[in-house]
Structure 1
Amino acid sequence: MTIDIDTVTKILRETAETVVLPRFRRLAEGEVSEKAPGDLVTVADQEAEEIISRRLREILDVPVVGEEAASSDPGLTRALLAEPRVWVVDPLDGTRNFVHGDERFAVMVALVYRGRSIVSWILRPTLDRVHVAELGSGAWCDGRRVRREPAPADPALLHGAARGRSLSTAERAHVEGAAPALAGLERGSGCVGVDYPRLAEGGLDFMLFSGTRPWDHAPGSLLLTEAGGVCLRPEGEPYRPDGEGRLLLTAADERTWRTVRPMMIP
C-alpha cells in the first residue's frame, strides 16, 4: 500500500484555503458553539472535516475517525480496533486559539494501520508549513529532514510543558512541585499540532499530556518518533491510537523520558 504524500498535503492546503483561513478572525455570530462546556467547535471545523474525509476516502476507501464526527458518535472510534486501516482527522486542532484570533492552530491527518500510525500530516495554515512523517522513513518539514537531537542530561537545563486540563489535583501539585528543578515548564500552546513539531525540532525537551484522543496524537506521535523522540505511557508502553490511557509523556529521547517521568507523574 502506497499513499501519495503530496496528494494528501494538497487536500489539506486546499481545504485550509477555502474553508479555514477565510473564517480566521472573521467568524460570524452563530458560527461558534460548544460541544461540551469549554469545548468549542466552529463551522470551519465541521466543514473542513467533511471535505477532508470525503477526499481521503477517494484515495483510500476506509473508515474515517474525525474529531467532530466522533463527538456526535463516540462509537466511531471502534474502527481503530475493528478495521485494519483507518484515517484519523483533526480538521482544526487548537479551535480555541482559532476562535480568539491566535495563529497557533493546525489541520492534521494520520493513516493508522493495525493500531499504529504509518503516515501523518500536520499543516499550519497561516504559515503554509507542513510536517509529514512516514513510519520507517523519517520526519520532514517542507522537504527538510527533521532530526531531534538528544536533550541535555542535566534536568536544570530541560525545557518542558504540561498540558494539564485533566490532571487531578494531586497530579497538578506534583508537576508544579517539579517546576523549580527545571529550566522551564509551560502549559503548551493549546494546539498539539504546534507542540509536537516544537518537540521534534528542539523547542521543547518534553511534554506531559493528560488527554490522548487519537485525532490529537496519531499525527504528532509519529512525527516525533520518526524524528528520534519518544511517546510513552507512564508504564513505558509506546502510544497507540487504538489504545487506552489518560496520560502520555513525550520526550526528546529515552534518557530524558526516564529523567522527567518521576518529576511529572506521581
Structure 2
Amino acid sequence: MEKVAEILAEASAVAVEPRFRALAAGEVMEKAPGEVVTVADREAERIIAHRLRELLPVPVVGEEAVSADPELARALHSEPAVWLVDPVDGTSNFVAGRPNFAVMASLVRAGQTVAAWIWQPVTGTAYAAELGSGAWCDGRRLTHPPVADSPAQWQGILKSRFLDPATHHRLQSNARVFGHLSGGRSAAGIEYPLVATGEQDFILYWRTLPWDHAPGSLLVTEAGGRSARLDGSAYRPEAPGCEDGLLVTADADQWDRIHAILLGLD
C-alpha cells in the first residue's frame, strides 16, 4: 500500500506539480469535445504505469491510454487483475489553475476494486483504502462519520453534466428538502474524500468512468459509507460507456433514504 502511494506522489512531483499554473503554449490539447488533456497527464501516466507494472505485472488501464485505444479497457473484464490509473483527475481544474485535482490509482481483481489510492498534490494529502481492511487519510484511519437526523441538515453534490434536462429538473426538485446541494468540485478525487470524511453526506453521479470512481468508491465504503447503482447493486468498475447512475453516501444506512428522496419515492 505504501509503495503505490509513493509512486503516485513521485510521479506527481516530476510530471504534474511543476506544470501547475505553468503550462506552456501547446501543452494543452483537446482529446474529445469539451475534454482536454495535457502533457502532464500523459507523462504522469507513463511514469505510473511503468512503475506499477514493476510492482505487479498486470495490465494497466490508464485514462489516456484508453483514450488512444479504447480496446484496452476490455482488460477490466478479460484479465484476472488490472491496475486503473487516472494521472490527473480534474484536468480542467488543473489547466485553469484551480487546486481541485488529484492523482489516482486502484487495483481491480476479478472485477472488484481491492485497493485504492488518491494523492491530492496541492494539499499534500494522501488517501488509501484496502478491501476489508479500512480507509486512511495520511495514515490516520477513517471512521464512520456522524450523520445528522434530518434531510434538512444533509449536504450533497448533484453531478448534472451528463443528465438530460428532464431528469436534471426532477432531481433538483426532489432535492429541495436537503440542506445544501452543489455541483461539486469537478474532480472525483476531491469529491469522494469529502464523503469519506463526512464533509458531504452524498454525491449523485451519472457517467462513471472506471478510473474516476473505483478509487473513491472503495475509500467511501471502507470508511463506512455505500457506493451503489440506482438499482441498489454495489459499484463495480465498468468500461467507459456506463451511465447507470451512482449514489454515494457517507453512511451506508443513509443510502436508502437519500435514494428514495432523489427519485421521488419517499
The one-letter code of the counterpart of 1:234 is L
2:249 paired with 1:251: yes
2:162 paired with 1:166: yes
Conservation of the 8 A alpha-carbon contact between 1:233 and 1:245: no
Partner SS, residue 52 of structure 1: helix
Q: CA RMSD of the aligned region, Å?
A: 1.2
Deviation at 1:6, TM superposition (A): 1.3
Deviation at 1:175, TM superposition (A): 1.8
2:16 paired with 1:17: no
Alignment partners' CA distance in 1, 2:35 and 2:219: 26
Partner SS, residue 254 of structure 1: coil
Alignment partners' CA distance in 2, 1:155 and 1:254: 15
Conservation of the 8 A alpha-carbon contact between 2:135 and 2:219: yes
Runs of 4+ in 1 over 4 A off after TM superposition: none
2:201 paired with 1:205: yes
The share of aligned pairs that are identical, in percent, is 50
The one-letter code of the counterpart of 1:198 is L
The one-letter code of the counterpart of 2:142 is V
Query: Match for residue 132 of structure 1?
Result: 128
Conservation of the 8 A alpha-carbon contact between 2:209 and 2:238: no
Deviation at 1:154, TM superposition (A): 1.4
Query: Match for residue 186 of structure 1?
Result: 182
Superimposed CA distance per residue, residues 108-132 of structure 1 (whole angstroms, 9 cap, x where no aligned partner) = 0000000111111000011111000
Conservation of the 8 A alpha-carbon contact between 2:230 and 2:244: no
Gaps of 5+ in 2: none
Conservation of the 8 A alpha-carbon contact between 1:208 and 1:264: no
Conservation of the 8 A alpha-carbon contact between 2:224 and 2:252: no
Conservation of the 8 A alpha-carbon contact between 1:104 and 1:194: yes
2:131 paired with 1:143: no
Alignment partners' CA distance in 2, 1:160 and 1:237: 21
2:26 paired with 1:30: yes
Alignment partners' CA distance in 2, 1:67 and 1:257: 29
TM-score by length of 2: 0.95
Conservation of the 8 A alpha-carbon contact between 1:214 and 1:241: yes
Conservation of the 8 A alpha-carbon contact between 2:103 and 2:118: yes
Superimposed CA distance per residue, residues 196-215 of structure 1 (whole angstroms, 9 cap, x where no aligned partner) = 10000011000000111110
Alignment partners' CA distance in 2, 1:99 and 1:265: 35
* Correspondence for 1:52 among 42, 48, 52: 48
Deviation at 1:150, TM superposition (A): 4.5
> May I ask how many residue pairs the two structures share in their alignment?
262
Q: After alignment, is 184-193 or 143-152 more displaced?
A: 143-152
The one-letter code of the counterpart of 2:73 is T
Deviation at 1:58, TM superposition (A): 0.3
The one-letter code of the counterpart of 2:257 is T
Conservation of the 8 A alpha-carbon contact between 2:155 and 2:178: yes
CA distance change for structure 1 residues 260 and 114 in 2, over 3 Å: closer, same or farther? Answer: same
Deviation at 1:180, TM superposition (A): 2.3
Query: Match for residue 97 of structure 1?
Result: 93
Alignment partners' CA distance in 1, 2:166 and 2:146: 30
TM-score by length of 1: 0.95
* Correspondence for 1:222 among 218, 235, 251: 218
